[in-house]
A and B are shown apart, each in its own frame.
Chain A
Amino acid sequence: MPDSAQIRVHPVTGTIMRQGVPAVLNPYDLFALEEALQIKDRLGGRIVALCMGPPQAEAALRKALSLGVDDAVLVSDRAFAGSDTLATSFALASAIRQVGQEQPVDLVFTGKQTIDGDTGQVGPGVAKRLGMQLLSYVCRIPILDMDSQSIVVHRWTERGGQVLQSKLPCLITVLEGTSEGRFASLPEMIRATRQPIRVWNRQAAGIEDLTKIGLKGSPTVVGKVFAPSRRAERAECIEWEQDQAGKAVSLLWEKIRARQPELVEKLSGTNGGENGQERVSE
């Protein structure tokens, strides 16, 4: 996918400027990849990297190969153009089924979301289509037992962590920042460069129903794309006299409170105020 941080809208014409924007491996997927690699380090097994995209996406797959992935498949077909998340999940699920015909798939890892769409919908959609258990926003995998096909994960939520026990096969979307990425060795780089990447078109990915992919298979329609308008006003500055700093700060805090009442509620709870010391990890 394109490196979204580099895309801008032209200020005059309003068109999207993506010239020279390189295709990069989705950084969120790097965390998913690292999680999969760690499992391979511990328990062995085979990892297949699967990517749907234009031919340039090959570079991302090659990077995955260099980091220790065994096989790489690029699902690429003009018929996919215009796919939204529903159509994309259909195509990916179908391709994963094809991979599964070569060898059973126990675990599917995806990033939390992509960086161009930021939707976070494709992974859960694929899980549903494959009838796999969905474990989203996973930040740790403390137990994975291949013999009993059982897995325990910590799932992040805004209010704390869920510890979930489930059965393989399952699809895991990995939270960012779960691990440091690795730096491939030179022999691995050379191996990855030489290894052929399999390119699957629609048929090879096992897709027969054309109404499920591309524009036809996409319920959502993009109406209009535009640049966000910049906030025009400057900060409301609190005026204060030399010896009135305390007063100014109190006034500021009043304003913060009015805008973010939940924060104050939290402070009055158990983990706020003086008791919240353990939260700051240095």
Chain B
Amino acid sequence: MNERFDAIVVGAGPAGTSAALTLARGGWKVLQIERGEYPGSKNVQGAILYADSLQKLIPNFREEAPLERHLVEQRLWVLDDRSYIGSTYRSPVSNDAEPDRYTILRAQFDKWFAKKAQEAGVLLICETTVLDLLREGERVVGVRTDREEGEVYADVVILADGVNSVLARKAGIRPELGAGEVALGVKEVLFYPQESLEDRFGIQGDEGVAIEMVGKITGGMVGTAFLYTNKESLAVGIGCLLSDFRREKVPPYVLLARLKEHPALRPLLRDGEMKEYTAHLIPEGGYKAIPKLSGDGWLIVGDAGMFVNSVHREGSNLAMETGRIAAETVIELKQAGEPFTERNLHRYRQRLDQSFVMKDLRKYQHVHEVLDQNRHFLTTYPELVNRAAETLLRVDGVDKRSKEKEVVRSFRKHRSYRGLFSDAVKLWRAFR
């Protein structure tokens, strides 16, 4: 088709929409292309939204975004086969404060977010899959979609097409993902009458609870599980490295079913009506997996650029941040009258390096290796701490000192003092 755009954004998730919104506000003529029936219809997340990055784009989002609940309580559970030991942090935020994290349903949130970009002037086309990047020499000049007369041109193309980024792979921008670089997460959404849900978790109004779980439930695989409260539903899911799924050959839905049957979760989940079962890959490669982020006429943002902080389970905020920064970079270049060459667009990477995005990703770059090479963190320790708790808490006529000795003995039986010490160092280094 003949019409040209200033920019084409591929994908209408948080990264693409942040980029499109920022560009449109900068007065750009933006075409955003989404393959789903509506924005969000192909997107999956736990999902917890961190407010900061969204707030930079839409300061008053709290008044209108489809938010489920703001978190007042976060629990961390270390699961054994039957028991768990955990910590709870609860802090009721007063009504006039601005909470910094919310549970959301992505299909609804993304639809709203994209609407904001449309209101700013973005032309959003749904139900259209982008098949290829169009190039002139090395320079990316547009995209080819699966519709008739489906080639469309722009000065710059922003790839926000998610973790699988078919475009980046086809164009040779990014290599195929390795099974060790992505986690496969599966999730169910279970519905409840609102009162029953609030009773179960001791919450009211818009208050919400998040439970993060590690331990034997992943069967030795590197991964975590979660349970989040929405307004009238619970999201319960589990994710592990794909390489581990491949090695263990456990179907993901079997793992999820086991989680739901865990004695700690079963009572929280009972009587729910399951309304959706989803699966999605999460880029877990961290800092080292980040590909080349820009080239002649293109930039890559969000999951497509592997921007996920797996330790803190942050993703959509990094997506929004990278989307916005990519857009700001090209706006600045245009204002300065500079072309979108590989060299000039490298400023995107430089700006990211200065942002929390890269700083955080650099910080945790060794975590996965450490866990991968030290499987006992995921199997032995959860069992040991749970057993220790049981030993210490049981009132059975045994004196406390003997109990403490027994605990130490049980730890030592599985790990030498040296092993225990080096584990502590490894973990401290990885999370430092």
Q: Is chain B in direct contact with chain A in the complex (CB below 8 A)?
A: yes
Return chain A residues, CB-CB under 8 Å to B127: 189
- With CB as the reference atom, state the residue of chain B lying closest to A8: B273
Question: How far is the CB of B134 from the nearest CB of chain A, in Å?
Answer: 13
Do B1 and A10 touch (CB < 8 A)? no
Per-residue contact bits, chain A 183-215, to B (CB 8 Å; 1 contact, 0 not): 111110110011000000000000000000000
Return chain A residues, CB-CB under 8 Å to B233: 19
Do A17 and B38 touch (CB < 8 A)? no
Given A15-B193, A20-B275, A186-B148; 19 other pairs, CB 8 A cutoff: A8-B275, A12-B271, A19-B191, A19-B232, A20-B105, A20-B107, A20-B108, A185-B1, A186-B128, A186-B145, A186-B147, A186-B150, A186-B151, A186-B152, A187-B1, A189-B128, A190-B3, A193-B124, A193-B125
Return chain B residues, CB-CB under 8 Å to A190: 1, 3, 31, 123, 125
Do B147 and A189 touch (CB < 8 A)? yes
Do A11 and B150 touch (CB < 8 A)? no
Do B273 and A186 touch (CB < 8 A)? no
Q: List 11 A-B contacts (CB under 8 A).
A: A12-B193, A19-B232, A184-B147, A185-B150, A186-B1, A186-B125, A186-B150, A189-B127, A189-B128, A190-B31, A190-B125
Q: Is the interface on chain A under 10, 10 to 19, 20 to 34, or 35 or more residues?
A: 20 to 34
Q: Which B59-84 residues sit within 8 Å CB-CB of chain A?
A: none
Do A10 and B273 touch (CB < 8 A)? yes
Return chain A residues, CB-CB under 8 Å to B152: 186
Q: Which B30-46 residues sit within 8 Å CB-CB of chain A?
A: 31, 37-38, 41
Interface residues of B, Cβ cutoff 8 Å to A: 1, 3, 31, 37-38, 41, 105, 107-108, 123-125, 127-128, 145, 147-152, 191, 193, 232-233, 271, 273, 275-276
Interface residue from B3, B31, B37 paired with A22 (Cβ < 8 Å): B37
Q: Does A13 count as interface, using CB distance less than 8 angstroms?
A: yes
Complex Cα distance, B232 from A10, in Å, reads: 12
Q: Which A4-38 residues sit within 8 Å CB-CB of chain B?
A: 8, 10-13, 15, 17, 19-20, 22
Do B147 and A185 touch (CB < 8 A)? yes
Return chain A residues, CB-CB under 8 Å to B148: 183, 185-186
Question: How far is the CB of A74 from the nearest CB of chain B, in Å?
Answer: 17
Q: Does A251 count as interface, using CB distance less than 8 angstroms?
A: no
Do A189 and B125 touch (CB < 8 A)? yes
Do A20 and B273 touch (CB < 8 A)? no
Complex Cα distance, B151 from A227, in Å, reads: 49
Do A187 and B149 touch (CB < 8 A)? yes
- With CB as the reference atom, state the residue of chain A lying closest to B150: A186
Interface residue from B41, B147, B149, B191 paired with A17 (Cβ < 8 Å): B191
Do A20 and B276 touch (CB < 8 A)? yes
Complex Cα distance, B125 from A184, in Å, reads: 11
Return chain B residues, CB-CB under 8 Å to A20: 105, 107-108, 275-276
Complex Cα distance, B191 from A189, in Å, reads: 36
Q: Does A59 count as interface, using CB distance less than 8 angstroms?
A: yes
Do A59 and B193 touch (CB < 8 A)? no
Question: How far is the CB of B30 from the nearest CB of chain A, in Å?
Answer: 12
Interchain pairs with CB closer than 8 A, number: 60
Question: How far is the CB of A96 from the nearest CB of chain B, in Å?
Answer: 28
- With CB as the reference atom, state the residue of chain B lying closest to A62: B126
Return chain B residues, CB-CB under 8 Å to A187: 1, 3, 149
Do B275 and A19 touch (CB < 8 A)? yes
- With CB as the reference atom, state the residue of chain A lying closest to B108: A20
Which 10 interchain pairs have the tightest Cβ spacing?
A185-B148, A186-B147, A186-B150, A187-B1, A185-B149, A189-B125, A13-B193, A186-B149, A185-B147, A187-B149
Complex Cα distance, B82 from A45, in Å, reads: 71
Complex Cα distance, B192 from A10, in Å, reads: 9
Complex Cα distance, B31 from A187, in Å, reads: 12
Question: How far is the CB of A7 from the nearest CB of chain B, in Å?
Answer: 11
Return chain B residues, CB-CB under 8 Å to A184: 147
Complex Cα distance, B31 from A194, in Å, reads: 12
Complex Cα distance, B107 from A185, in Å, reads: 26
Complex Cα distance, B272 from A17, in Å, reads: 12
Return chain A residues, CB-CB under 8 Å to B3: 187, 190
Interface residue from A10, A13, A59, A194 paired with B38 (Cβ < 8 Å): A59
Return chain B residues, CB-CB under 8 Å to A19: 191, 232-233, 275
Return chain B residues, CB-CB under 8 Å to A15: 193
Do B123 and A193 touch (CB < 8 A)? yes
Question: How far is the CB of A33 from the nearest CB of chain B, in Å?
Answer: 16
Question: How far is the CB of B105 from the nearest CB of chain A, in Å?
Answer: 7
Complex Cα distance, B128 from A8, in Å, reads: 30
Return chain A residues, CB-CB under 8 Å to B193: 10, 12-13, 15
Most buried by B among A13, A187, A189: A189
Return chain A residues, CB-CB under 8 Å to B123: 190, 193-194
- With CB as the reference atom, state the residue of chain A lying closest to B231: A19
Return chain A residues, CB-CB under 8 Å to B37: 22
Return chain A residues, CB-CB under 8 Å to B128: 186, 189
Complex Cα distance, B31 from A189, in Å, reads: 12
Return chain B residues, CB-CB under 8 Å to A186: 1, 125, 128, 145, 147-152
Return chain A residues, CB-CB under 8 Å to B149: 185-187
- With CB as the reference atom, state the residue of chain B lying closest to A20: B107
Complex Cα distance, B273 from A8, in Å, reads: 10
Complex Cα distance, B107 from A20, in Å, reads: 8
Return chain B residues, CB-CB under 8 Å to A194: 123
Complex Cα distance, B29 from A194, in Å, reads: 13
Interface residue from B125, B151, B273 paired with A11 (Cβ < 8 Å): B273
